[in-house]
Amino acid sequence: MGPIVIIAELEGGSVRSASYEAVEAGRALSRMEGGSLLILAPGNNVRGAADELASRTGIDVLALENEDAEAYSAGLWKSMLAEAVGPLGPRFVIVPHTARGYDFAPGLAVRLGAACITAVEALRGSEGRITLTRSAFGGKLSMDIAPSEGTVVLTVQPGAFASGDAQSASPGNVSTKRTGAIDSRYRPLGIRAVEGETASLNEAEVVVAAGRGVGKKENMGLITELASLFSRSVVAGSRAACDAGWLPYARQVGVTGKTVAPRLYIACGISGTAQHVSGMKGSQTIVAINTDPGAPIFNIAHVGVVEDLAVFIPLLTEARLKIKLLRN
């Protein structure tokens, strides 16, 4: 079969770190099954990013240029990538499991006539057989999957395959392929960063995070009141809390949100799915409040409280207030 292909994710001319983690997954598969590696860098004017990928990894890079690919669109990415990847006949196509990767990977697999296995967290090889592991049922179960024969498109969970900063001793070769106009049903006009909250969320020392377990918007007062008792604190949340409209998406923590590493992270009514945990597992101290003793968040929490947050947070707030008053 052809090489193991890694699809890099670029934004504004920079390489997203999840791309390097996908490269590590590719190296692991290459060690198990053999096969060379090739990185594809799709976008417009991506030569600089392609050079960076080649020099850091030592792997050959194909810069896949398309004038219309200034901003991401699933239709465009699937068409460009299917055209470039198909003739290579790869065994594995590795895509970062980001919002973008998760968006186009299944459609790309369909176009390639390939299998698709998403959110892979670990790889194992024994007796000539590769086993892929991913979470299931919100992180409560772990599932082992054996890939089929032929091409398999994998999305790999950010944070699962650590990549160092080391530069390769000898850079890979970079070549460029221009793809022509692609018939797409829609055309993205551009992507704008949301202004405002990012800096404070990234710089906060204490993050009080709300999840679906908060129950309703009116209960967000419990979270904001608790946060207000810590200096350099901010309220954030899971995607479920943002989807419910309790918080703006700029406050979402996780694989498709922000990555934070505060001194203290208080997870309130958050189950702890892999997508959320990948954005906060670097926190120095994690406190989890959850009614379900089997919630996966307790696997990474330093302090676990099995209690209704509507009961526990007012007690915690009161205790914190007393400490503040005693100190002043």
Ligand X SMILES: Cc1cc2nc3c(=O)[nH]c(=O)nc-3n(C[C@H](O)[C@H](O)[C@H](O)COP(=O)(O)OP(=O)(O)OC[C@H]3O[C@@H](n4cnc5c(N)ncnc54)[C@H](O)[C@@H]3O)c2cc1C
Cβ-based nearer residue to ligand X, 78 or 276: 276
Q: Which of 69, 81, 207, 289 binds ligand X (CB under 6 A)?
A: 289
290 is a contact residue toward ligand X (CB under 6 A): yes
Among 234, 295, 301, 316, binds ligand X (CB under 6 A): 295
CB-based contact 150:307 (threshold 8 Å): no
Return the range that interacts with ligand X (CB under 6 A); candidates 34-42, 68-76, 178-186, 235-243. 235-243
In angstroms, what is the minimal distance from the CB of 323 to ligand X?
A: 23
Report, in Å, the least distance between residue 326 CB and ligand X. 28
**310 interacts with ligand X by CB under 6 A:** yes
Q: Which of 105, 152, 309, 316 binds ligand X (CB under 6 A)?
A: 309
Binding residues for ligand X restricted to 188-217, rule: CB under 6 A? 211-213, 215
Q: Choose between 70 and 292: whose C-beta lies nearer to ligand X.
A: 292
Q: How far is the CB of 95 from ligand X (least distance, A)?
A: 12
**Using CA atoms, how far apart are residues 179 and 153, in angstroms rounded to an integer?**
21
Residue nearer to ligand X on the CB measure, 172 or 213: 213
Q: How many CA atoms lie less than 13 Å away from 85 in the CB half-sphere?
A: 33
Taking the complex as a whole, how short is the minimal distance between the CB of residue 181 and ligand X, in angstroms? 30
> What is the rounded CA–CA span in Å between residue 28 and residue 36?
11
Burial of 163 (0-12, 13-18, 19+ CB in 10 A): middle
Q: Is 321 in the site for ligand X (CB under 6 A)?
A: no
Contact set for ligand X, span 26-85 (CB under 6 A): none
Count of other CB atoms within 10 angstroms of residue 287 = 18
Single out the residue of 290, 249, 257 nearest to residue 276, CA to CA.
257
Instruction: Find out whether 155 and 97 touch, Cβ atoms under 8 Å.
Output: yes
**CB of residue 38 to ligand X, shortest distance in Å:** 25
**Residue 167 is which amino acid?**
Q
Q: Please answer whether residues 75 and 185 qualify as being in contact, where contact means their C-beta atoms are separated by less than 8 angstroms.
A: yes
Sheet holding 174-178, edge to edge: 141-145, 129-136, 115-126, 152-156, 92-96, 4-7, 37-43, 60-65, 174-178
Considering only residues 157-186, where is the footprint of ligand X by CB under 6 A? none
Distance CA 181, CA 136 (A): 39
Residue of 37, 112, 128, 51 lying closest to 80 (CA atoms): 112
Nearer to ligand X, 15 or 255 (CB): 255
Nearer to ligand X, 4 or 270 (CB): 270
- Which residue number has the CB closest to ligand X? 254
Question: CB count, 10 Å around CB of 211?
Answer: 28
100-159 positions binding ligand X, by CB under 6 A: 102, 138
308 binds ligand X (CB under 6 A): yes
Phi, psi of 306 (to 5 degrees): -95, 95
Distance CA(26)–CA(285), nearest Å, equals 33
In the window 238-267, what residues touch ligand X (CB under 6 A)? 238-241, 252-257
Question: At which residue do the structure tokens 């979270």 appear?
Answer: 223
Question: Please, which residue, 35 or 159, has the CB nearer to ligand X?
Answer: 159
Q: Does 276 bind ligand X (CB under 6 A)?
A: yes
Report the residue number, 11 or 292, with the smaller CB distance to ligand X: 292
Q: How far is the CB of 312 from ligand X (least distance, A)?
A: 8
Binding footprint of ligand X on the chain (CB under 6 A): 99, 102, 138, 211-213, 215, 238-241, 252-257, 269-271, 273, 275-276, 279, 289-292, 295, 308-310
